[in-house]
Amino acid sequence: MHARIVAGLAKPGTIDQGISIYENSVAPATQEQRGFKGVFFLVNRDTNQFMSVTLWETEADMEAGEASGYLQEQIAKAAAIIAAPPTTEHYEVSVQA
């Protein structure tokens, strides 16, 4: 299994709006992608930081969303509340309990 981490900084006072966008638009679109295995959206209200963790069956499934433009479309949904371009990292899931 593989994980994509997208982390960034939200503009002050927009965390709840970001949660709503993620819950109502981004997560449903993510669930429709090939190889989808799970998703988490984490926020730190004190620092306005957020992190999206998506889990994928294979590395190819994870990378397909970036090549197709899917990932960029999802990030664009929250463009109005993001303070700076988020970072994206890939990981192999080594342990799951």
pLDDT (tens digit per residue) in 15-51: 999 999 999 999 999 999 999 999 999 999 999 999 9
Any idea which fold 2-92 has? Alpha-Beta Plaits (3.30.70)
Rounded-to-integer distance, Cα 44 and Cα 37, Å: 24
Q: In this structure, which amino acid lies at residue 58?
A: T
Rounded-to-integer distance, Cα 63 and Cα 52, Å: 16
pTM above 0.85, yes or no: yes
pLDDT at 56: 98
pLDDT at 46: 97
Rounded-to-integer distance, Cα 62 and Cα 36, Å: 8
In which band, very low, low, confident or very high, does the pLDDT at 6 lie, cut at 50, 70 and 90?
very high
Rounded-to-integer distance, Cα 49 and Cα 38, Å: 21
The structure tokens 């294979």 sit at: 58
Indicate the length of the chain as a whole number. Answer: 97
Domain ranges of the chain: 2-92
pLDDT at 95: 96
**pLDDT (mean) for 70-97:** 95
